[in-house]
Amino acid sequence: MNEIRVRVADYAVDQEPAIIATIGLGSCVAITLYDAAARIGGLAHILLPNELMSRDVSNRAKFPATAVPLLLDEMRARGSRGAVTAKIVGGASMFASLLPLSGINIGERNVTATCQALEAARIPLLAHDTGGDYGRSVYLHLSDGRVFVRSLRMGDRVL
């Protein structure tokens, strides 16, 4: 089975029987979109909650507001015509103890921005594994839309 690896601020779209994976999520968020009828899906590994936090805004996969439409466009180009659903993973506060009380929690902001982007695109969020203070790896199985989450600290989980 083909496994496609997605790096930080990158994305991939494919169809069954592939698996799309991203390894080592911390404060970043993996956005997975899936069309069950066509068995087409995509995963974006977003880095920042919005364009204001980056000098380089040319990479659409870097931010939720641009990554969600990018994934949808690529899925439609591959034949997705049905209802698309989402599952998200990540958004941890990896260094919470180092932040001042009023410090910016990028992970939390990434999750909020991701939920807003999904809502704007009218994509229902079916499941999430977000927050905490630990890393995760994510595997989107395009045969059935299952999202396998692996964490050294918290074990394995299926969304």
Report residue 155 CA to chain centroid gap: 19
Pair of tokens at residue 1: 């089975």
CA atoms of 23 and 98, how far apart (whole Å): 24
> 115 catalytic, yes or no?
no
CA atoms of 156 and 159, how far apart (whole Å): 10
3-state secondary structure of 119: helix
**Prior bond to 17 cis, omega within 30?**
yes
Report residue 105 CA to chain centroid gap: 17
Which is the catalytic residue, given 13, 28, 88, 113? 28
Q: Which of 45, 107, 22, 121 is nearest to 76 (CA)?
A: 121
Q: Which residues are catalytic?
A: 28
